[in-house]
């Protein structure tokens, strides 16, 4: 019988298999010519947009921390955010971003791990909700504009998942009991008391949620998607691909949902398959789509460099803040 750890390893192989299959379909002489024609100037412009993306996402996280009546300067939050971003890039499903909670508790002596995790978990939930919502719009566009008929079930699934998450936070008492029962299955009895405390602290953070805050969080996500769309627009331009801005805005969240599936490392394989299909609807061939996908992956890796810098070069005296 395959245990959970081995199952995860086998699932990640799926993306690698897809990746090598795609490479076997590439026309390498044409592929090399595409990269030789890259306009570096436009690609650099796309890379520059990494910084406003990081700033916008950190501001969003800061809103959640502020909701706990904790005020932290933006410059103090950027190091833990980019560290978590780095770990999110190199871990399946971007689970490494949860390291942000640890870094937050390292910085602030009076914030519990439960509350710190709340800021990260709810940040990711809003990410998922906004990503899924735009993905549903993308699926509708594909169905009606390009006569793609295979995504109807996917859109129903996404809508159901959004409803489930909303129910989780609306029916807090029921959700708390369910979480307790789930945790009891996976943790030893000696840790059950700590688990109950963690869940209480987590839901304590949700008490300060209100419509204004949630609207702000969605606003930051939309701005983030717009900035990423602009960057990918320039990446496409660097390859002489004239990609419609509206199309990129709709499909980037769809690709994001596919690449966070825990069946690959760094989204390798799943990202390429996604772009091959989505760009083929615009008449872009496999070689151009794979080249675009490679540059998007490079953009993603570059976005993790600030986190790598802080992990290895930040002085210890800058790690602690008292408020």
Q: Which positions ≥6 away from 111 have C-beta within 8 Å?
A: 68, 70, 104, 105
Q: Which domain holds residue 299?
A: 60-170+210-271+282-308
User: What's the number of domains the chain is made of?
Assistant: 1
Q: Phi/psi of residue 243, each to 5°?
A: -90, 125
Tokens matching residue 255: 């690709």
Question: Which residues of the chain fall short of a pLDDT of 50?
Answer: 1-4, 185-188, 191, 316-323
DSSP state of 320: -
For CA atoms 218, 67, 209, 304, give the dihedral sign.
positive
Residue 134: inside a domain: yes
For CA atoms 225, 124, 87, 5, give the dihedral sign.
negative
Query: Which among 216, 209, 264, 198 has a CA at the least distance from the CA of 9?
Result: 264
CB 105 within 8 A of CB 111: yes
Tokens matching residue 249: 């805005």
pTM: 0.79
CB 4 within 8 A of CB 185: no
Q: How many residues does the chain have?
A: 323
Residue 15: inside a domain: no
- Pinpoint the alpha helices (H) of 149-285: 152-170, 172-186, 192-206, 211-238, 245-259, 270-280
For CA atoms 266, 270, 273, 277, give the dihedral sign.
negative
Tokens matching residue 32: 């090399």
Check residue 186 and give its pLDDT. Answer: 44
Residue 20: inside a domain: no
Q: Is 61 exposed, middle or buried (0-12, 13-18, 19+ CB in 10 A)?
A: buried
Residue 201: inside a domain: no
The three-point CA angle 314-70-219 to 5° equals 90
* Whole-number Cα distances in Å, 238 to 131, 256, 285, 301: 26, 21, 16, 18
Tokens matching residue 65: 């921390």
CA-only gyration radius of the chain, Å: 21
Distance from the Cα of residue 284 to its chain's centroid: 26
Residue 175: inside a domain: no
Check residue 318 and give its pLDDT. Answer: 39
Angle of helix 172-186 versus helix 152-170 axis, rounded to 10: 100
Tokens matching residue 263: 């069946």
Query: Which among 238, 266, 270 has a CA at the least distance from the CA of 254?
Result: 270
Residue 55: inside a domain: no
Check residue 279 and give its pLDDT. Answer: 92
Tokens matching residue 283: 């008449």
DSSP state of 208: T
To the nearest 10°, report the CA torsion of 178, 182, 185, 191.
-90
């Amino acid at each position: 019988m395959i245990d959970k750890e081995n199952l995860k390893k086998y699932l990640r192989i799926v993306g690698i298999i897809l990746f090598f299959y795609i490479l076997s379909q590439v026309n390498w002489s044409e592929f090399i010519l595409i990269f030789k024609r890259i306009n570096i100037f436009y690609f650099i412009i796309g890379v520059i947009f990494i910084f406003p993306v990081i700033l916008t996402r950190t501001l969003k996280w800061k809103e959640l921390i502020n909701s706990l009546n904790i005020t932290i300067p933006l410059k103090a939050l950027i190091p833990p955010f980019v560290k978590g971003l780095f770990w999110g890039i190199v871990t399946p499903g971007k689970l490494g971003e949860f390291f942000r909670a640890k870094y937050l508790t390292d910085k602030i002596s009076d914030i519990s791990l439960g509350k710190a995790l709340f800021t990260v978990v709810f940040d990711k939930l809003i990410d998922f909700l906004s990503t899924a919502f735009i993905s549903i719009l993308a699926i509708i566009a594909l169905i009606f504009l390009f006569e793609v008929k295979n995504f109807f079930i996917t859109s129903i699934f996404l809508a159901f998942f959004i409803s489930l998450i909303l129910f989780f936070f609306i029916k807090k008492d029921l959700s708390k009991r369910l979480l307790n029962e789930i945790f009891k299955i996976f943790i030893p009895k000696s840790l059950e008391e700590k688990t109950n405390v963690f869940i209480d602290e987590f839901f304590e953070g949700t008490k300060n949620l209100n419509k204004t805050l949630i609207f702000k969080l969605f606003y930051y996500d939309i701005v983030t998607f717009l900035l990423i769309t602009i960057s990918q627009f320039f990446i496409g331009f660097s390859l002489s691909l004239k990609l419609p801005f509206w199309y990129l805005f709709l499909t980037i969240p769809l690709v994001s949902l596919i690449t966070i599936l825990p069946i690959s490392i760094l989204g390798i394989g799943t990202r390429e398959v996604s772009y091959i299909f989505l760009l083929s609807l615009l008449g872009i061939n496999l070689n151009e789509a794979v080249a675009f996908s490679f540059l998007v992956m490079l953009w993603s890796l570059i976005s993790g460099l600030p986190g790598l810098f802080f992990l290895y070069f930040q002085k210890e005296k800058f790690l602690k803040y008292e408020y």
